[in-house]
Structure 1
Amino acid sequence: MFPMVTGFMNYGQQTIRAARYIGQSFIITLSHANRLPVTIQYPYEKSITSERFRGRIHFEFDKCIACEVCVRVCPIDLPVVDWRFEGDIKNKILLNYSIDFGVCIFCGNCVEYCPTNCLSMTEEYELSTYDRHELNYNQIALGRLPMSVIGDYTIQTVMNSTQIKIDKGKYLDSRTITN
Protein backbone atom coordinates (compact mmCIF):
# COMPACT_ATOMS: atom_id res chain seq x y z
CA MET A 1 0.00 0.00 0.00
CA PHE A 2 2.87 2.35 0.67
CA PRO A 3 4.23 2.12 -2.86
CA MET A 4 0.87 3.26 -4.10
CA VAL A 5 0.90 6.32 -1.82
CA THR A 6 4.43 7.27 -2.83
CA GLY A 7 3.41 6.85 -6.47
CA PHE A 8 0.55 9.32 -5.98
CA MET A 9 2.90 11.74 -4.22
CA ASN A 10 5.41 11.54 -7.08
CA TYR A 11 2.59 12.02 -9.56
CA GLY A 12 1.38 15.09 -7.63
CA GLN A 13 4.91 16.56 -7.49
CA GLN A 14 5.38 16.02 -11.23
CA THR A 15 2.01 17.67 -11.92
CA ILE A 16 2.93 20.71 -9.81
CA ARG A 17 6.36 20.95 -11.50
CA ALA A 18 4.76 20.78 -14.98
CA ALA A 19 2.21 23.46 -14.02
CA ARG A 20 5.05 25.68 -12.74
CA TYR A 21 6.99 25.28 -16.03
CA ILE A 22 3.89 26.08 -18.06
CA GLY A 23 3.20 29.13 -15.88
CA GLN A 24 6.78 30.40 -16.23
CA SER A 25 6.72 30.04 -20.01
CA PHE A 26 3.34 31.80 -20.17
CA ILE A 27 4.72 34.72 -18.10
CA ILE A 28 7.69 35.01 -20.47
CA THR A 29 5.32 35.03 -23.45
CA LEU A 30 3.21 37.77 -21.86
CA SER A 31 6.30 39.87 -21.06
CA HIS A 32 7.21 39.85 -24.77
CA ALA A 33 3.71 40.94 -25.80
CA ASN A 34 4.32 44.58 -24.76
CA ARG A 35 7.48 45.00 -26.82
CA LEU A 36 7.65 46.79 -30.14
CA PRO A 37 8.37 44.66 -33.21
CA VAL A 38 12.03 44.33 -34.12
CA THR A 39 11.60 43.49 -37.79
CA ILE A 40 11.07 46.18 -40.39
CA GLN A 41 9.45 46.06 -43.83
CA TYR A 42 12.78 46.51 -45.62
CA PRO A 43 12.15 48.06 -49.00
CA TYR A 44 9.65 50.52 -47.55
CA GLU A 45 11.21 51.14 -44.14
CA LYS A 46 14.92 51.57 -43.55
CA SER A 47 16.77 51.75 -40.27
CA ILE A 48 19.06 54.66 -39.56
CA THR A 49 22.62 53.42 -39.20
CA SER A 50 24.85 54.32 -36.27
CA GLU A 51 27.64 56.82 -36.66
CA ARG A 52 30.30 54.09 -36.60
CA PHE A 53 28.60 51.94 -39.25
CA ARG A 54 31.00 50.45 -41.81
CA GLY A 55 29.29 50.82 -45.15
CA ARG A 56 30.56 51.40 -48.67
CA ILE A 57 33.95 53.10 -48.90
CA HIS A 58 34.08 56.65 -50.29
CA PHE A 59 37.27 57.62 -52.17
CA GLU A 60 38.58 61.11 -52.94
CA PHE A 61 40.83 60.88 -55.98
CA ASP A 62 42.51 64.28 -55.50
CA LYS A 63 43.79 63.46 -52.00
CA CYS A 64 45.33 60.08 -52.85
CA ILE A 65 49.14 60.00 -53.11
CA ALA A 66 49.33 56.34 -54.31
CA CYS A 67 51.28 55.24 -51.23
CA GLU A 68 49.51 51.83 -51.23
CA VAL A 69 49.17 51.75 -47.44
CA CYS A 70 45.56 50.64 -47.93
CA VAL A 71 46.74 47.61 -49.91
CA ARG A 72 49.33 46.64 -47.28
CA VAL A 73 46.94 46.84 -44.29
CA CYS A 74 44.05 45.09 -46.07
CA PRO A 75 43.80 41.48 -44.84
CA ILE A 76 42.92 40.30 -48.35
CA ASP A 77 45.01 42.79 -50.43
CA LEU A 78 41.85 44.12 -52.00
CA PRO A 79 42.32 47.70 -53.27
CA VAL A 80 43.89 47.82 -56.73
CA VAL A 81 46.11 50.89 -57.11
CA ASP A 82 47.54 51.67 -60.56
CA TRP A 83 50.12 54.44 -60.69
CA ARG A 84 53.12 55.61 -62.67
CA PHE A 85 56.30 57.25 -61.48
CA GLU A 86 57.04 60.72 -62.80
CA GLY A 87 60.82 61.09 -62.86
CA ASP A 88 60.96 64.82 -63.40
CA ILE A 89 58.82 65.62 -60.33
CA LYS A 90 59.87 62.46 -58.42
CA ASN A 91 56.31 61.64 -57.46
CA LYS A 92 53.73 58.92 -58.07
CA ILE A 93 50.77 59.78 -60.27
CA LEU A 94 47.60 57.82 -59.52
CA LEU A 95 46.02 56.34 -62.64
CA ASN A 96 43.30 54.05 -61.33
CA TYR A 97 41.91 52.97 -57.95
CA SER A 98 39.32 50.23 -57.54
CA ILE A 99 37.77 48.06 -54.82
CA ASP A 100 35.72 44.91 -55.35
CA PHE A 101 32.93 45.00 -52.74
CA GLY A 102 32.03 41.40 -53.52
CA VAL A 103 35.24 40.39 -51.76
CA CYS A 104 35.62 43.26 -49.24
CA ILE A 105 35.00 42.33 -45.60
CA PHE A 106 34.42 45.99 -44.55
CA CYS A 107 37.02 45.83 -41.77
CA GLY A 108 37.90 49.53 -42.12
CA ASN A 109 41.69 49.10 -41.95
CA CYS A 110 42.21 50.99 -45.21
CA VAL A 111 40.22 53.95 -43.87
CA GLU A 112 41.99 53.93 -40.51
CA TYR A 113 45.56 53.82 -41.84
CA CYS A 114 45.22 56.13 -44.87
CA PRO A 115 47.72 58.99 -44.28
CA THR A 116 45.81 61.54 -46.38
CA ASN A 117 42.27 60.57 -45.27
CA CYS A 118 41.16 60.04 -48.85
CA LEU A 119 39.10 57.00 -47.79
CA SER A 120 36.05 57.10 -45.54
CA MET A 121 33.22 54.74 -44.63
CA THR A 122 29.72 55.79 -45.65
CA GLU A 123 26.33 54.70 -44.34
CA GLU A 124 25.39 53.04 -47.64
CA TYR A 125 24.62 49.35 -47.18
CA GLU A 126 22.55 48.54 -50.27
CA LEU A 127 25.11 47.00 -52.58
CA SER A 128 23.05 44.14 -53.96
CA THR A 129 23.25 43.46 -57.69
CA TYR A 130 22.37 40.63 -60.05
CA ASP A 131 25.91 40.43 -61.43
CA ARG A 132 28.90 40.22 -59.09
CA HIS A 133 31.08 42.10 -61.58
CA GLU A 134 29.03 45.23 -60.89
CA LEU A 135 30.45 45.25 -57.35
CA ASN A 136 33.90 46.19 -58.66
CA TYR A 137 33.91 49.97 -58.12
CA ASN A 138 36.48 52.20 -59.81
CA GLN A 139 37.52 55.66 -58.60
CA ILE A 140 34.49 57.30 -60.25
CA ALA A 141 31.97 55.00 -58.54
CA LEU A 142 33.88 55.22 -55.25
CA GLY A 143 33.86 59.02 -55.44
CA ARG A 144 30.08 59.20 -55.62
CA LEU A 145 28.52 60.24 -52.32
CA PRO A 146 25.67 58.02 -51.09
CA MET A 147 22.10 59.22 -50.88
CA SER A 148 21.19 59.83 -47.27
CA VAL A 149 18.39 57.71 -45.89
CA ILE A 150 17.17 60.63 -43.79
CA GLY A 151 16.81 63.00 -46.74
CA ASP A 152 14.80 60.64 -48.96
CA TYR A 153 11.11 61.47 -48.71
CA THR A 154 10.02 58.15 -50.28
CA ILE A 155 11.44 56.12 -47.40
CA GLN A 156 9.98 55.93 -43.93
CA THR A 157 12.87 55.66 -41.48
CA VAL A 158 12.65 53.49 -38.40
CA MET A 159 14.44 54.80 -35.33
CA ASN A 160 16.89 52.42 -33.70
CA SER A 161 16.99 51.79 -29.99
CA THR A 162 19.96 54.20 -29.82
CA GLN A 163 17.87 57.02 -31.23
CA ILE A 164 14.80 57.28 -29.04
CA LYS A 165 12.58 60.30 -29.37
CA ILE A 166 12.67 62.27 -26.12
CA ASP A 167 11.34 65.74 -25.25
CA LYS A 168 9.77 66.52 -28.64
CA GLY A 169 12.68 66.46 -31.04
CA LYS A 170 15.68 65.70 -28.85
CA TYR A 171 17.27 62.39 -29.82
CA LEU A 172 19.65 60.20 -27.89
CA ASP A 173 22.44 58.72 -29.94
CA SER A 174 25.40 56.54 -29.06
CA ARG A 175 27.44 59.58 -27.96
CA THR A 176 24.88 60.79 -25.40
CA ILE A 177 25.61 59.94 -21.78
CA THR A 178 22.55 59.25 -19.66
CA ASN A 179 22.22 58.78 -15.91
Structure 2
Amino acid sequence: MFNFINSLKNYSQESFRAARYIGQGFIVTLNHINRSAITVQYPYEKLITSERFRGRIHFEFDKCIVCEVCVRVCPINLPVVDWNFQQDIRKKKLKNYSIDFGVCIFCGNCVEYCPTNCLSMTEEYELSVYDRHELNYDQIALGRLPFNSFQDALVTKAS
Protein backbone atom coordinates (compact mmCIF):
# COMPACT_ATOMS: atom_id res chain seq x y z
CA MET A 1 0.00 0.00 0.00
CA PHE A 2 2.84 2.37 0.84
CA ASN A 3 4.52 1.73 -2.56
CA PHE A 4 1.29 2.55 -4.34
CA ILE A 5 1.03 5.91 -2.56
CA ASN A 6 4.69 6.75 -3.34
CA SER A 7 4.26 5.86 -7.00
CA LEU A 8 1.07 7.95 -7.18
CA LYS A 9 2.90 10.85 -5.53
CA ASN A 10 5.83 10.58 -8.00
CA TYR A 11 3.42 10.37 -10.92
CA SER A 12 1.60 13.52 -9.84
CA GLN A 13 4.88 15.42 -9.29
CA GLU A 14 6.12 14.46 -12.75
CA SER A 15 2.77 15.43 -14.27
CA PHE A 16 2.93 18.87 -12.65
CA ARG A 17 6.53 19.28 -13.78
CA ALA A 18 5.61 18.34 -17.36
CA ALA A 19 2.64 20.74 -17.30
CA ARG A 20 4.92 23.51 -16.05
CA TYR A 21 7.41 22.90 -18.91
CA ILE A 22 4.60 22.93 -21.46
CA GLY A 23 3.29 26.15 -19.92
CA GLN A 24 6.74 27.74 -20.18
CA GLY A 25 6.85 26.77 -23.85
CA PHE A 26 3.48 28.41 -24.44
CA ILE A 27 4.65 31.58 -22.71
CA VAL A 28 7.70 31.76 -24.99
CA THR A 29 5.43 31.25 -28.01
CA LEU A 30 3.05 33.97 -26.87
CA ASN A 31 5.97 36.37 -26.34
CA HIS A 32 7.02 35.88 -29.96
CA ILE A 33 3.57 36.70 -31.31
CA ASN A 34 3.98 40.42 -30.56
CA ARG A 35 7.30 40.71 -32.41
CA SER A 36 7.47 42.11 -35.92
CA ALA A 37 8.39 39.83 -38.79
CA ILE A 38 12.05 39.54 -39.76
CA THR A 39 11.39 37.88 -43.10
CA VAL A 40 12.19 39.90 -46.21
CA GLN A 41 10.19 39.28 -49.38
CA TYR A 42 13.42 38.90 -51.35
CA PRO A 43 12.92 39.76 -54.98
CA TYR A 44 10.74 42.74 -54.10
CA GLU A 45 12.47 43.86 -50.92
CA LYS A 46 16.22 43.82 -50.38
CA LEU A 47 18.32 44.36 -47.30
CA ILE A 48 20.87 47.14 -47.29
CA THR A 49 24.32 45.60 -47.16
CA SER A 50 26.79 46.70 -44.53
CA GLU A 51 29.71 48.98 -45.29
CA ARG A 52 32.25 46.14 -45.12
CA PHE A 53 30.19 43.66 -47.16
CA ARG A 54 32.23 41.40 -49.42
CA GLY A 55 30.42 41.05 -52.71
CA ARG A 56 31.52 40.62 -56.31
CA ILE A 57 35.05 41.79 -57.07
CA HIS A 58 35.46 44.78 -59.40
CA PHE A 59 38.63 44.86 -61.51
CA GLU A 60 40.17 47.89 -63.23
CA PHE A 61 42.25 46.67 -66.15
CA ASP A 62 44.24 49.89 -66.62
CA LYS A 63 45.54 50.01 -63.04
CA CYS A 64 46.87 46.43 -62.96
CA ILE A 65 50.68 46.13 -63.07
CA VAL A 66 50.64 42.31 -63.32
CA CYS A 67 52.48 41.82 -60.02
CA GLU A 68 50.38 38.70 -59.28
CA VAL A 69 50.16 39.51 -55.57
CA CYS A 70 46.46 38.67 -55.74
CA VAL A 71 47.27 35.13 -56.85
CA ARG A 72 49.89 34.63 -54.14
CA VAL A 73 47.70 35.83 -51.25
CA CYS A 74 44.60 33.95 -52.40
CA PRO A 75 44.13 30.84 -50.22
CA ILE A 76 43.05 28.84 -53.27
CA ASN A 77 45.20 30.57 -55.96
CA LEU A 78 42.05 31.59 -57.76
CA PRO A 79 42.75 34.63 -59.95
CA VAL A 80 44.06 33.57 -63.35
CA VAL A 81 46.50 36.12 -64.75
CA ASP A 82 47.75 35.75 -68.34
CA TRP A 83 50.49 38.12 -69.44
CA ASN A 84 53.26 38.63 -71.99
CA PHE A 85 56.69 40.00 -71.29
CA GLN A 86 57.48 42.78 -73.73
CA GLN A 87 61.20 42.93 -74.41
CA ASP A 88 61.28 46.44 -75.84
CA ILE A 89 59.83 48.14 -72.73
CA ARG A 90 60.83 45.39 -70.27
CA LYS A 91 57.43 45.16 -68.68
CA LYS A 92 54.70 42.62 -68.34
CA LYS A 93 51.59 43.30 -70.36
CA LEU A 94 48.30 41.92 -69.09
CA LYS A 95 46.44 39.79 -71.62
CA ASN A 96 43.66 38.28 -69.55
CA TYR A 97 42.47 38.34 -65.94
CA SER A 98 39.69 36.11 -64.65
CA ILE A 99 38.12 34.97 -61.39
CA ASP A 100 35.74 32.05 -60.98
CA PHE A 101 33.13 33.14 -58.44
CA GLY A 102 31.85 29.58 -58.20
CA VAL A 103 35.09 28.75 -56.36
CA CYS A 104 35.88 32.12 -54.74
CA ILE A 105 35.41 32.23 -50.96
CA PHE A 106 35.17 36.06 -50.91
CA CYS A 107 37.89 36.39 -48.29
CA GLY A 108 39.03 39.76 -49.66
CA ASN A 109 42.77 39.06 -49.47
CA CYS A 110 43.28 39.95 -53.14
CA VAL A 111 41.61 43.32 -52.60
CA GLU A 112 43.47 44.05 -49.39
CA TYR A 113 46.97 43.28 -50.68
CA CYS A 114 46.69 44.73 -54.21
CA PRO A 115 49.35 47.48 -54.37
CA THR A 116 47.58 49.53 -57.07
CA ASN A 117 44.01 49.10 -55.77
CA CYS A 118 42.82 47.74 -59.09
CA LEU A 119 40.61 45.26 -57.21
CA SER A 120 37.70 46.28 -55.01
CA MET A 121 34.75 44.57 -53.37
CA THR A 122 31.29 45.67 -54.45
CA GLU A 123 27.92 45.31 -52.77
CA GLU A 124 26.65 43.06 -55.55
CA TYR A 125 25.59 39.69 -54.14
CA GLU A 126 23.18 38.37 -56.75
CA LEU A 127 25.46 35.94 -58.55
CA SER A 128 23.04 33.07 -59.09
CA VAL A 129 23.14 31.39 -62.50
CA TYR A 130 21.88 28.14 -63.98
CA ASP A 131 25.28 27.06 -65.30
CA ARG A 132 28.31 27.24 -63.00
CA HIS A 133 30.59 28.09 -65.92
CA GLU A 134 28.86 31.47 -66.18
CA LEU A 135 30.45 32.41 -62.84
CA ASN A 136 33.90 32.51 -64.45
CA TYR A 137 34.28 36.26 -64.98
CA ASP A 138 36.95 37.64 -67.30
CA GLN A 139 38.36 41.17 -67.19
CA ILE A 140 35.40 42.54 -69.15
CA ALA A 141 32.80 41.12 -66.76
CA LEU A 142 34.94 42.05 -63.74
CA GLY A 143 35.30 45.60 -65.05
CA ARG A 144 31.54 46.05 -65.33
CA LEU A 145 30.35 48.58 -62.79
CA PRO A 146 28.29 47.04 -60.00
CA PHE A 147 24.53 47.12 -60.41
CA ASN A 148 22.72 48.93 -57.63
CA SER A 149 19.56 46.91 -57.07
CA PHE A 150 17.84 49.83 -55.36
CA GLN A 151 17.73 51.72 -58.66
CA ASP A 152 15.04 49.30 -59.78
CA ALA A 153 11.62 50.92 -59.34
CA LEU A 154 9.99 47.65 -58.27
CA VAL A 155 12.43 47.04 -55.42
CA THR A 156 12.01 48.64 -52.00
CA LYS A 157 14.51 48.78 -49.18
CA ALA A 158 13.68 46.47 -46.31
CA SER A 159 13.98 48.06 -42.91
For 1:57, the equivalent position in structure 2 comes to 57
For 1:83, the equivalent position in structure 2 comes to 83
Question: Which amino acid in structure 2 is aligned with residue 29 of structure 1?
Answer: T
Alignment of structure 1 residues 62-77 onto 2, 5 Å = 62-77=62-77
In 2, Cα distance between equivalents of 1:4 and 1:133: 73
State the shift of 1:46 in Å: 1.4
In 1, Cα distance between equivalents of 2:5 and 2:21: 24
Question: Which amino acid in structure 2 is aligned with residue 148 of structure 1?
Answer: N
Could you tell which deviates more after superposition, 30-39 or 48-57?
30-39
Question: Which amino acid in structure 1 is aligned with residue 61 of structure 2?
Answer: F
Question: Which amino acid in structure 2 is aligned with residue 6 of structure 1?
Answer: N
State the shift of 1:69 in Å: 0.4
Render the CA deviation track for 1:84-111: whole Å, top value 9, x for unaligned.
1122222211111111111111111111
State whether structure 2 residue 144 is matched by structure 1 residue 144: yes
In 2, Cα distance between equivalents of 1:136 and 1:8: 70
For 2:38, the equivalent position in structure 1 comes to 38
Indicate the percent of aligned positions where both proteins have the same amino acid.
73
Query: Is the partner of 1:120 in helix, strand or coil?
Result: strand
In 2, Cα distance between equivalents of 1:136 and 1:80: 10
Gaps of 5+ in 1: 160-179
For 1:167, the equivalent position in structure 2 comes to none
For 1:155, the equivalent position in structure 2 comes to 155
For 2:105, the equivalent position in structure 1 comes to 105
In 2, Cα distance between equivalents of 1:107 and 1:92: 27
Render the CA deviation track for 1:160-179: whole Å, top value 9, x for unaligned.
xxxxxxxxxxxxxxxxxxxx
- Aligned pairs, number: 159
For 2:47, the equivalent position in structure 1 comes to 47
In 1, Cα distance between equivalents of 2:36 and 2:117: 40
In 2, Cα distance between equivalents of 1:8 and 1:72: 73
| TM value normalised by structure 2 | 0.93
| TM value normalised by structure 1 | 0.83
Q: Which runs of 4+ in 1 moved over 3 A?
A: none
Question: Which amino acid in structure 1 is aligned with residue 6 of structure 2?
Answer: T
Question: Which amino acid in structure 2 is aligned with residue 43 of structure 1?
Answer: P
Query: Is the partner of 1:150 in helix, strand or coil?
Result: helix
Gaps of 5+ in 2: none
Question: Which amino acid in structure 1 is aligned with residue 75 of structure 2?
Answer: P
State the shift of 1:118 in Å: 0.6
Could you tell which deviates more after superposition, 76-85 or 142-151?
142-151
Render the CA deviation track for 1:31-65: whole Å, top value 9, x for unaligned.
21122222222222211111111110000111100
CA contact (8 A) 1:60 1:143 kept: yes
CA contact (8 A) 1:149 1:157 kept: no
* Higher RCO (C-alpha 8 Å, min separation 6): 2
